[in-house]
């Protein structure tokens, strides 16, 4: 399966091995230093155990799939540890466990969860902590939460551009100090600089250059010890792959999950939703998923899980009607159980000792809480055809003096404390639903506001209530460092330009969702929140609707390519959305690129935010084609391009084959995509398309076909293999070659 991505890895591997050979040594499982134990886990993965880990760790409680050992065994054989084991140090204090790993002077590290505000984690302290990122009730604390590394996806995993990864198997509020702390030296080098006495705090307090760098991992609360896992590369991308395969591989959404999603307003009745859903079909607005808020959070902001009787007199009937129109129905909720929930009293003994918005916090590590919660959901919701959930509010406000969520000092029936529950709550809820849908042999795609480690197999996309477009773009690329997916949802907009620019980014993300939870009408009716809710149609609404429809159709053309990218995620752990540095970790120019990212093997997207008339784009080595104009560019240079509103800059790597489909309104089991295959440059990078029912797990039992697209001697080939017995998923109508 030689995609261009795999080839890139290979090249990098060779460079790197030469570059850093003296830093590495062959794995010897008997190597022990500072009292820790190093054990191989799978090909290129080691566990470093120091003391005795805590009970409530991610590996013990958050795993949703077994280690993908077979896929791992097919990767580079016998890779090396990134450092000499003797250079690793660990120690315990009454506070917890500290682990010191070597770092080199110019090394760059990435990941540590998906904090949306900054990109590169080098030379700073990053705390791992789930947070809603909202300003608290007293003043504005967002920027500080962001600076501390608060995130919706708070994942204690990082990768180095030297080609390795480290996962800390802890759900604590742990910190990484990536090269910004200095260890004691008996013979320190005197600090360079003038003898002048400074009289300003900025100068006195300035961070100093540190000669012997170290990565200090501070795990408070892990007072008896902790495990970390070390992932070899040899490239950075392979280290990420190994982490995702260690997690069980990437989630495979149903085909319809790659279409367009829409969420209607909190106050919508079933008639209003059905009416709008019909209009979408009439207006040819592509849409596969429809989200509802069932109105079960009146008064207190905890949930009763009882449909609002006036707004939704017959939910089962409504779901049927939505399904008949080709929509998959998704429901908003969070797991804080209001006293009006039918199972409130039953849940009390299986909940934490503190409440959130007057609701219980169930301990989903207990079979009892899972059963009570899920039995009700199955009977009342899943059985009537609900195919997904939006799980809200499962993060926290760790920096707030008046946090809305439960205190870290809470205790839960399983013995878990509130700090760990904050890390795990979102993912435990995901697992609950994931297990149920798997039992039903139903793939699904959901949303969630907080996730933690080993999350890649879970079909949940992370979102935010923060709304800065730059942050949302940054988060798409960063999501690839931490085994999560991200959607830069569209809600209201500051201008038509802002709406269009946001939609463009959204098309090139894991979930193209227009979220109208506080809007009476879709944003193309009016992008302004107040005017929208006042029923004032924008004078250009028809034109806006057309632009949005066209963009949604762009998304629909990409579905086969995206499905292939998700298969690479699923089988090989390659993130379908990832930062540029992931593929070019030796190129200094990529170290801080946060406004460009890769989609699948060969598309590099460079979104634009409102107000930009041109933007700088870095093209790494090789040749690149403009996705829209097919103009060719030489790589290893920064280019400045004009960015007219109609197009988001997208570049195709030379050699790639990009199949584009005739857009459909929504995807069914029988959808057959009419494809034009665009061949760029030599076209020497084949692409595999996948055929299956697109909705179940039957592909894993053999019901899957492959269509390998390749280009040889000026001609396209589509070679079928596999065991798919259903009707064909793809029909190639033409090949177009661009040079």
Query: What residues between 275 and 294 interact with a second copy by CB under 8 A?
Result: 293
Options 47, 49, 80, 124; binder of a second copy; rule CB under 8 A: 124
- Residues near a second copy (CB under 8 A), total: 100
Q: Write down the least CB distance from residue 241 to a second copy, Å.
A: 29
Options 23, 408, 497, 662; binder of a second copy; rule CB under 8 A: 408
Q: Write down the least CB distance from residue 223 to a second copy, Å.
A: 6
- The pattern of x and - marking residues 577 through 616 that bind a second copy according to CB under 8 A reads ----------------------------------------
Confirm or reject binding of residue 52 to a second copy (CB under 8 A).
no
Q: Which is nearer to a second copy, 28 or 224 (CB)?
A: 224
Number of residues written out for the chain = 739
Neighbours of 66 (CB within 10 A): 11
CA dihedral 470, 476, 477, 482 (to 10 degrees): 130
Q: Which of residues 90-109 bind a second copy (CB under 8 A)?
A: 91, 93-96, 98
Confirm or reject binding of residue 404 to a second copy (CB under 8 A).
yes
Neighbours of 56 (CB within 10 A): 23
**Residues 427 and 391: beta-carbon distance below 8 Å:** no
Options 257, 295, 523, 649; binder of a second copy; rule CB under 8 A: 295
CA-to-CA distance for 380 and 169, rounded, in angstroms? Answer: 36
Q: Which is nearer to a second copy, 112 or 255 (CB)?
A: 112
By CB under 8 A, which span of 103-111, 124-132, 544-552, 637-645 interacts with a second copy?
124-132
Q: Phi-psi region for residue 177, left (φ > 0), alpha (ψ -120 to 50) or beta?
A: beta
State in Å, rounded, how far the first CA of the chain is from the last one.
Answer: 24
Q: Which is nearer to a second copy, 71 or 222 (CB)?
A: 222
Q: Which of residues 659-688 bind a second copy (CB under 8 A)?
A: none
Place of tokens 């598309």: 603
Q: Write down the least CB distance from residue 144 to a second copy, Å.
A: 4
Burial of residue 237, with CB atoms counted within 10 A of its CB: 0-12 exposed, 13-18 middle, 19 or more buried: buried
Q: Phi-psi region for residue 235, left (φ > 0), alpha (ψ -120 to 50) or beta?
A: beta
CA gyration radius, the chain: 25
Residues 6+ apart with CB under 8 A from 429: 335, 364, 391, 394, 448
Options 125, 320, 371, 615; binder of a second copy; rule CB under 8 A: 125
Confirm or reject binding of residue 180 to a second copy (CB under 8 A).
yes
Helical ranges in 213-269 per DSSP H: 236-247
Options 341, 355, 547, 687; binder of a second copy; rule CB under 8 A: 355
User: 239-277: string of b/e by CB count within 10 Å (b at 16+)?
Assistant: bbbbbbbbbbbbbbbbbbbbbbbbbbbbebbbeebbebb
Q: Write down the least CB distance from residue 622 to a second copy, Å.
A: 35
* Closest of 12, 160, 170 to residue 76, by C-alpha: 12
Q: Which is nearer to a second copy, 5 or 517 (CB)?
A: 517
Q: Which is nearer to a second copy, 350 or 598 (CB)?
A: 350
Q: Which of residues 610-649 bind a second copy (CB under 8 A)?
A: none
Helix (H) or strand (E) holding 12: helix 4-20
Options 18, 77, 197, 324; binder of a second copy; rule CB under 8 A: 197
Q: Write down the least CB distance from residue 410 to a second copy, Å.
A: 8
Confirm or reject binding of residue 324 to a second copy (CB under 8 A).
no
Confirm or reject binding of residue 33 to a second copy (CB under 8 A).
no
- The pattern of x and - marking residues 465 through 494 that bind a second copy according to CB under 8 A reads x-----------------------------
Helical ranges in 381-417 per DSSP H: none
- Listing DSSP states for 375-444 in one string gives HHHHHHTGGGTEEEEEE-S-S--TT-SS-SS--TT-B-TTS-BHHHHHHHHHHHHHHHHHHHHHHTT---
Options 225, 248, 286, 352; binder of a second copy; rule CB under 8 A: 352
Residues 6+ apart with CB under 8 A from 639: 616, 617, 618, 619, 633
CA atoms within 13 A on the CB side of 621: 9
Q: Write down the least CB distance from residue 529 to a second copy, Å.
A: 9
Q: Which is nearer to a second copy, 138 or 324 (CB)?
A: 138
C-alpha distances (whole Å) from 73 to each of 16, 27, 67, 100, 649 are 21, 16, 11, 29, 38
Q: Which is nearer to a second copy, 276 or 687 (CB)?
A: 276
Confirm or reject binding of residue 309 to a second copy (CB under 8 A).
no
Options 51, 102, 339, 716; binder of a second copy; rule CB under 8 A: 339
Confirm or reject binding of residue 196 to a second copy (CB under 8 A).
yes
* Closest of 323, 309, 233 to residue 274, by C-alpha: 323
3-state DSSP assignment of residue 496 = helix
CA-to-CA distance for 579 and 584, rounded, in angstroms? Answer: 9
Confirm or reject binding of residue 184 to a second copy (CB under 8 A).
yes
- Listing DSSP states for 273-331 in one string gives HHHHHHHHHHTT----EEEE--S---SSSSB-----TTT-S-HHHHHHHHHHTTPEEEE
By CB under 8 A, which span of 58-66, 183-191, 250-258, 590-598 interacts with a second copy?
183-191
User: Tokens representing 714?
Assistant: 């000026």
Confirm or reject binding of residue 139 to a second copy (CB under 8 A).
yes
Confirm or reject binding of residue 534 to a second copy (CB under 8 A).
no
CA-to-CA distance for 548 and 503, rounded, in angstroms? Answer: 7
Options 191, 367, 629, 713; binder of a second copy; rule CB under 8 A: 191
Options 18, 78, 201, 324; binder of a second copy; rule CB under 8 A: 201
- The pattern of x and - marking residues 55 through 94 that bind a second copy according to CB under 8 A reads xx----------------------------------x-xx
CA-to-CA distance for 707 and 69, rounded, in angstroms? Answer: 25
Q: Which is nearer to a second copy, 147 or 470 (CB)?
A: 147
Q: Write down the least CB distance from residue 188 to a second copy, Å.
A: 5
Q: Write down the least CB distance from residue 228 to a second copy, Å.
A: 14
Q: Write down the least CB distance from residue 140 to a second copy, Å.
A: 7
CA atoms within 13 A on the CB side of 12: 27
Options 25, 76, 87, 136; binder of a second copy; rule CB under 8 A: 136
Q: Which of residues 216-275 bind a second copy (CB under 8 A)?
A: 216, 218, 220-221, 223, 265-267
Options 200, 629, 714, 725; binder of a second copy; rule CB under 8 A: 200
By CB under 8 A, which span of 225-233, 402-410, 499-507, 574-582 interacts with a second copy?
402-410
CA-to-CA distance for 608 and 594, rounded, in angstroms? Answer: 12
Q: Write down the least CB distance from residue 61 to a second copy, Å.
A: 13
**Residues 595 and 263: beta-carbon distance below 8 Å:** no
Options 21, 348, 534, 719; binder of a second copy; rule CB under 8 A: 348
């Amino acid at each position: 399966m030689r995609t261009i991505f795999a080839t890139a890895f290979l090249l990098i591997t060779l460079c790197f091995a030469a570059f850093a050979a003296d830093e590495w040594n062959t794995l010897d499982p008997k190597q022990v230093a500072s009292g820790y134990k190093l054990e191989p886990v799978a090909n290129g993965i080691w566990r470093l155990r120091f003391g005795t880990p805590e009970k409530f760790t991610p590996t013990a409680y958050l795993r949703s799939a077994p280690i993908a050992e077979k896929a791992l065994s097919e990767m580079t054989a016998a890779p090396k540890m990134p450092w000499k084991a003797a250079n690793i140090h660990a120690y315990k204090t009454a506070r917890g466990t500290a682990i010191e790993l070597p770092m080199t002077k110019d090394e760059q590290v990435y990941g540590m969860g998906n904090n949306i505000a900054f990109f590169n984690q080098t030379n700073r302290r990053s705390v791992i902590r789930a947070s809603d990122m909202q300003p608290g009730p007293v003043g504005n604390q967002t920027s500080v939460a962001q600076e501390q590394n608060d995130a919706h996806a708070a994942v204690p995993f990082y990768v180095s551009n030297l080609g390795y990864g480290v996962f800390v198997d802890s759900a604590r509020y742990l910190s990484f100090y990536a090269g910004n702390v200095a260890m004691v030296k008996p013979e320190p080098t005197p600090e360079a600089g003038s003898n002048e006495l400074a009289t300003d705090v900025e100068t006195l307090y300035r961070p100093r250059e540190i000669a012997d760098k170290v990565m200090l991992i501070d795990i408070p609360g892990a007072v008896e010890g902790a495990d970390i896992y070390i992932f070899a590369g040899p490239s950075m991308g392979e280290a990420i792959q190994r982490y995702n395969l260690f997690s069980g591989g990437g989630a495979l959404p149903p085909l319809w999950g790659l279409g367009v999603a829409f969420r209607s307003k909190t106050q919508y009745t079933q008639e209003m939703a059905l009416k709008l859903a019909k209009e979408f079909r009439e207006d040819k607005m592509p849409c596969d998923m429809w989200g509802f808020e069932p109105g079960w959070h009146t008064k207190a902001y905890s949930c009763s899980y009882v449909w609002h009787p006036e707004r939704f007199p017959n939910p089962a009937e409504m779901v049927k009607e939505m399904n008949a129109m080709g929509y998959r129905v998704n429901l908003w909720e969070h797991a804080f159980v209001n006293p009006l929930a039918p199972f409130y009293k039953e849940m009390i003994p299986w909940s934490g000792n503190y409440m959130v918005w007057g609701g219980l916090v169930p301990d989903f590590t207990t079979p009892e809480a899972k059963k009570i919660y899920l039995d009700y959901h199955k009977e009342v919701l899943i059985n009537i055809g609900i195919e997904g959930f939006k799980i809200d509010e499962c993060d926290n406000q760790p920096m707030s003096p008046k946090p809305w969520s439960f205190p870290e000092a809470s205790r839960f029936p399983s013995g878990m404390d509130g700090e760990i529950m904050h890390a795990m709550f979102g993912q435990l809820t995901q697992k609950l639903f994931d297990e149920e849908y798997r039992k039903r042999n139903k793939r699904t795609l959901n949303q969630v506001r907080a996730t933690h480690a080993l999350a890649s197999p879970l079909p949940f996309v992370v979102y935010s209530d923060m709304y800065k477009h730059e942050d949302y773009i940054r988060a798409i690329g960063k999501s690839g460092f931490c085994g999560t997916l991200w959607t830069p949802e569209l809600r209201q907009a500051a201008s038509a330009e802002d709406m269009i620019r946001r939609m463009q980014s959204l098309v090139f993300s894991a979930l193209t969702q227009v979220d109208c939870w506080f809007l009476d009408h879709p944003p193309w009716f009016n992008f302004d929140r107040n005017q929208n809710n006042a029923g004032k149609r924008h004078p250009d609404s028809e034109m806006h609707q057309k632009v949005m429809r066209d963009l949604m159709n762009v998304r629909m053309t990409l579905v086969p390519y995206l499905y292939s990218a998700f298969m690479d995620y699923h089988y090989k752990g390659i993130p379908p959305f990832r930062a540029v540095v992931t593929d070019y970790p030796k190129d200094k120019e990529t170290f801080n690129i946060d406004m460009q990212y890769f989609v699948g093997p060969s598309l590099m997207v460079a979104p634009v935010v409102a107000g930009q008339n041109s933007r700088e784009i870095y093209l790494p080595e090789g040749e690149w084609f403009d996705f829209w104009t097919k103009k060719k560019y030489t790589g290893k240079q920064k280019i400045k391009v004009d960015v007219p509103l109609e197009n988001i800059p997208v570049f195709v790597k030379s050699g790639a084959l990009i199949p584009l489909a005739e857009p459909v309104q929504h995807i069914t089991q029988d959808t057959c995509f009419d494809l034009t295959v665009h061949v760029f440059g030599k076209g020497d990078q084949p692409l595999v398309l996948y055929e299956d029912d697109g909705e179940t797990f039957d592909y894993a039992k053999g019901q899957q076909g492959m269509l390998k697209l390749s280009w040889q001697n000026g001609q396209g080939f589509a070679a079928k293999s596999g065991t798919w017995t259903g009707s064909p998923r793809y029909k190639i109508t033409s090949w177009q070659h661009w040079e």
